[in-house]
Amino acid sequence: MSERRPVRIVIAGGGTGGHISPAVAVMEELKKREPIEVLWIGSHKGSERAAAQRAGVRFTPIRTGKLRRYVHIRTFVDGLLIPIGTAQAWRKLRRFKPDVVFSTGGYVSVPTVIAARMIAPVVMHEQTATIGLANKINMRFADLVALTFTSSEAAARAIHPNVVVTGNPVRAGLRDGDAAASRATLGLPDDLPVVYVTGGALGASPINERIFARLPDLLERACVIHQTGSKKDNPDFDRANALRATFSPELQRRYVTREFVTDELPGIFALADLIVARSGAGTVAELAHIGKPSILIPLAHAGGNEQERNALILSAAGGAVMIPEASASPDRLYQEIVQLLERPDQLAEMAAGARSVATDNAAAGLATLILRHARK
């Protein structure tokens, strides 16, 4: 009896960690169930190439233009790139012959979803609490629309008849970190709480700058693990290390800098008493999954105000303190961090609140839907 042919799956999406992490989580789940062959179609410059390489899957880039809700000099040029990318995606899809396309959104996903319409079923997933512009286009070509939040279900059903709420997939193993081992590896002292500051995969300079402004004071009270974003995205990693060099040896020991965190993340999550972050969909899903209290500073001009809506999901459940970026002065952010660290009972209540909105079976649910459409 011959072996069954692997299921051929195309991943379409990328640009930010919020579009990349769900793809990785679902691939991990699919690999547990079936032999699969994956082709990831992404952009030339996005972080999805590195994610595909880490996951051990083939990656191929296409040209694509950024979709904007505002007037910009690049809008016309980027609009011309979409049909070019669609033609490139069509050729790649015809060559690969996928059984199903799984789109996680971002403007890079649009050409592939359009090209796939006559080639293979399309399952798409919207991570945020509002439907992004790219996914509003993708919905016209998708066979199934999966959502993270029930709050966006009515809007989705107004466009597409086949909608399901699955939650947002997160990577396996995020709850498996060892706090003591992580503290020892990072060389942090045992007698202080730990704050993890992250702006997501690309970093967030507005958050970094606010942390820098009161960092010596904060290090008198806590250890700080600071994920700044990579050097190619902003200059903050070098700024952080230059600032660290001015501290006393004791304060230097309390301050750990990283451009980007991958394998260390479960341990850092286990160790952190409080997390300061943006409120991208991936970050919010991970905070709920691991049950960690947070201070969230939404990106002020995110499309459709999606980051504020994401943050409201956690804050309404008591799992986070949301501070609008315009109000998050260095002094206010410092005071909020210190006050929470001084109230362990409140941190425990916030952790439970965050955990209450988690959807643990999102990756499994999406994997089932993808395989169901692949077998059509």
What is the token pair recorded at 42? 């992404």
* Cβ neighbours, 10 Å, residue 164: 15
Domains and CATH numbers, the chain: 7-168+360-374 (3.40.50.2000), 179-355 (3.40.50.2000)
- What percent helix, strand, coil does the chain show, rounded to 5? 45, 15, 35
Bridge partners, residue 13, by sequence: 105
Measured over the CA atoms of residue 15, residue 17, residue 19 and residue 25, the dihedral's sign is: positive
The owner of tokens 């015809």 is 94
Q: How far apart are CA 64 and CA 81, in angstroms?
A: 5
pLDDT of residue 305: 82
Give the up-direction half-sphere exposure of residue 282: CA atoms within 13 A in the CB hemisphere.
22
DSSP letter, residue 30: H
**pTM of structure:** 0.87
Identify whether the C-beta of residue 227 lies closer than 8 Å to the C-beta of residue 199.
yes
**pLDDT in single tens digits along all 376 residues of the chain:** 446 789 999 999 998 888 999 999 999 999 999 999 999 999 988 889 999 999 999 999 998 866 555 455 555 556 677 889 999 999 999 999 999 999 999 999 999 999 999 899 999 999 988 898 899 999 999 999 999 998 889 999 999 999 999 999 998 899 999 999 999 999 999 999 999 999 876 668 999 999 999 999 999 999 999 999 988 888 999 999 999 999 999 999 999 999 989 899 999 999 999 999 999 988 999 999 999 999 999 988 765 688 999 999 999 999 999 999 999 999 999 999 999 999 999 999 999 999 999 988 999 999 999 999 998 7
Say which residues have a Cβ less than 8 Å from residue 188's Cβ, sequence separation at least 6. 194, 223, 253, 254, 256, 271
Q: How far apart are CA 131 and CA 22, in angstroms?
A: 16
pLDDT of residue 262: 87
Closest CA to 143 of 117, 180, 108: 117
pLDDT of residue 375: 84
Identify whether the C-beta of residue 284 lies closer than 8 Å to the C-beta of residue 307.
no
pLDDT of residue 203: 64
The number of angstroms, rounded, from the C-alpha of 318 to the middle of its chain's C-alpha atoms is: 21
Identify whether the C-beta of residue 141 lies closer than 8 Å to the C-beta of residue 159.
no
Q: How far apart are CA 90 and CA 283, in angstroms?
A: 32
pLDDT of residue 257: 97
